[in-house]
Chains A and B, each alone.
Chain A
Amino acid sequence: MEQNSIVTISGLIKRFPIGKGHFTALNGIDLTFSKGQFAGVVGPSGSGKTTLLNIIGSLDNPTEGKANVLGQEIGNLSTKKAALLRRKHLGFIFQTYNLLPVYTVFENVEFPLLLLNMSGSERKKAVMDSLDWVGIADKVKSRPAQLSGGECQRVAIARAMVKKPELVLADEPTANLDSENSHHILQTMENLNKDLQTTFIFATHDDKVIKYLKRKILLEDGKVTADDIITN
């Protein structure tokens, strides 16, 4: 593993059984992500972006090859250890926000901290700080159904960032947002990346996101076909 790298993937293959055969979603992926990167895996639908993110996020296991995340080999993790890795070090942002519908904004953002057994006062401060970052502190008592799509995604970002994770995995975070909201969200994430040195890995095929990326990895038919560092 390279120094300063937080994700190292080598020879990663992921196959899904289909009928009597199987479908190869990822075919020999070798990648390394360093701390503080603002990287994106881009490619058309079905290219394997989400599968790659799921494996990095320890939600799925490789069929072959290795995926080392924050020093832990994903393929060897028990479900409990994988849960602990996600709980302590990873944040997730989903295309459909995945907010808990019966919770308020505050409770949604507070949720990861409850799992970390933080005290009530610490939780409150962290939640309010996080909501301040994304500019939605005035909506603490609202429920997701009362928010717009952009606001929901900002709550999802606050929830992902509230525990200050080393790595945030964002799967198509702007797919359900209009242009203005998308830029706002991406600027927020870019700022968080700069301020907190949090590593962001996106899975996207949205040009609006691609414009913000500092590293663009092109995935086609389960293979990395390009890996570019973008300098402005």
Chain B
Amino acid sequence: MLSLKLAWRNLVGAGLRTWLNVIVLAFVLFMMIWHYGLLDGWNQQANKDMQAWEVGNGQYWHQNYDPYDFFTLEESHAKIPEALNKATTDGIITPVLITQGSVYPDGRIQSMLLKGINPDQKVVAIPGTDLNTESEEIPVVIGRRMAKNCKLQEGDITTIRWRDVNGTFDAAEVKVVKVFNCNVPSVDAGQMYIHIKKVQEMMQAPDEATMFIIGEDFEMNETVSGWEYKDFDFLMTEMNEMMKMKKVGGSFMYVILMLLAMLAIFDTQVLSIFRRQKEIGTYIAMGMTRRQVVSLFTVEGAMHAILAVIFIAIFGTPLLIWLMSVGMSMPAGSDDMGIAIAETIYPVYGAGLIIGTSLLVFIITLIVSYLPARKISKMKPTDAIKGKIQ
């Protein structure tokens, strides 16, 4: 208690020097909380969006299907298996038939994936109902990114080309009946959605699918021969890895910021111990033990962190709450990075994040404050009283 009381008096007495250190430390703390919260918010949103738009609650893949090798698509489709027939009919799972194709917007050629989906499916958020539109051309639905890349709009007609199961090329006119907005680039970029029946017909692969997306109510009771079950965690692996990398990348920034803040604290402490030798000698002459003096200087240093936390609590909390409510707009083009980024990311600042980060900063400040303070215990009080540099 004595150390706390005296440390507080000393810090208040030190005036501007104290507040500069506190502000630097508070800035670092705020940046750490803000950035981690942003990544957490992004992570949560990306998970939610990817589940809603792409991965559902898991998937069944044809045994030959490899999303990273388009050449496997020719051999990675098969009849809808008996075991999944009922669930498919009930709409608990939804089949997707995928093939490679090309689109010719304004005479240009662009590769894409043709995905056959059930227009009435409710498993993922891709809006398929428009695929039921009556039209001379084949009705297709595309995402915003695809529309942008191909310079297509709703109502536009263009040509697509594909190969059927026998390897024969064919082409047809398609009409864009819907351009949807989605935060998940892998659902949108370079992809065109067509009624699954139409794709089966185009590919001459009736009742076939490449994969199934599983909905909420599906209960997996048996393994399905020729099909591999991929659970949600597996399908999110890449996203999670990417987030980890983002956090690691962000950590370098924190380390640099922390180093700057700790350097300020360390510098203040070292300077204090040299400049305040007479004061240290006076403390000892008046009956403080060396341990008490070391403790006083350590608490003084560590109190910068406590003041920084209080500073953040007073000035940072309203700002964090405001950021949580309005979110942070991502710059145009940031979604081209290939990972799910919403137009506005809403950061998530949990108690664990705030307490954990504050504790981390406090402990590091405590250590950095203690290291130079140890020197006091080696000081000769008779020299310290006179302020002689030792």
Residues in chain A within 8 A of chain B (CB atoms): 50, 54, 57, 59-60, 79-80, 83-88, 90, 92, 94, 96, 98-103, 107, 111-112, 114-115, 159
Contact = CB atoms under 8 A, between A and B. Distances in A.
B281 A98 contact: yes
B9 A107 contact: yes
Contacts of A83: 284, 287-290, 292
Interface in B1-17: 2, 5-6, 9-10, 12-14
A98 B386 CA distance: 9
A59 B385 contact: yes
B325 interface: no
Contact of A98 (B282, B288, B289): B282
Contacts of A84: 287
Interface string B255-284: 000000000000000000000001101101
18 contacts: A54-B382, A57-B285, A59-B284, A79-B289, A80-B289, A80-B291, A84-B287, A86-B284, A88-B287, A92-B286, A98-B385, A99-B282, A102-B10, A102-B14, A103-B9, A111-B286, A112-B287, A115-B286
A79 B290 contact: yes
A121 B2 CA distance: 17
B381 interface: yes
A87 B290 contact: no
Contacts, number: 69
Contacts of B2: 114-115
A200 B104 CA distance: 105
Interface of B: 2, 5-6, 9-10, 12-14, 278-279, 281-282, 284-292, 381-382, 385-387
B286 A86 contact: yes
B285 A92 contact: yes
A86 B285 contact: yes
A44 to B, nearest CB: 18
Contacts of B288: 83, 87, 115
Nearest to A51: B382
A101 B289 contact: no
Given A79-B290, A83-B290, A94-B282, 15 more contacts: A59-B382, A59-B385, A60-B382, A79-B289, A80-B289, A83-B284, A86-B286, A87-B286, A92-B285, A98-B278, A98-B279, A100-B282, A102-B10, A103-B13, A115-B2
Contacts of B381: 59-60
Nearest to A79: B290
A171 B14 CA distance: 28
A99 B381 CA distance: 16
Nearest to A117: B2
B305 to A, nearest CB: 20
Nearest to A78: B289
A100 B290 contact: no
Given A83-B284, A83-B287, A92-B285, A114 B6 contact: yes
Contacts of A101: 13, 279
Contacts of A115: 2, 286-288
B258 to A, nearest CB: 28
Nearest to A107: B9
Contacts of B5: 114
A90 B286 CA distance: 8
Contacts of B284: 59, 83, 86
Contacts of B387: 96
B384 to A, nearest CB: 9
Contacts of B292: 83
A80 B284 CA distance: 10
Contacts of B13: 101-103
B385 A102 contact: no
Contacts of B289: 79-80, 83
Contacts of A114: 2, 5-6
A86 B287 contact: yes
A102 B286 CA distance: 17
A106 to B, nearest CB: 11
A99 B292 CA distance: 19
B280 to A, nearest CB: 11
A183 B26 CA distance: 52
| Residue with the greatest number of chain A CB neighbours at <10 A, chosen from B287, B290, B292, B381 | B287
Closest 7 CB pairs of A and B: A102-B13, A87-B287, A86-B287, A98-B282, A83-B289, A92-B285, A59-B381
Contacts of A98: 278-279, 281-282, 285, 385
Contacts of B281: 98
B56 to A, nearest CB: 65
A112 B286 CA distance: 6
A217 to B, nearest CB: 20
Contacts of A92: 285-286
A111 B385 CA distance: 16
Nearest to A102: B13
Taking each of A59, A80, A96, which has the highest tally of chain B beta carbons within 10 Å of its own beta carbon?
Answer: A59
A201 to B, nearest CB: 14
Nearest to A111: B286
Contacts of A79: 289-290
A94 B287 CA distance: 15
A87 B293 CA distance: 14
B299 to A, nearest CB: 14
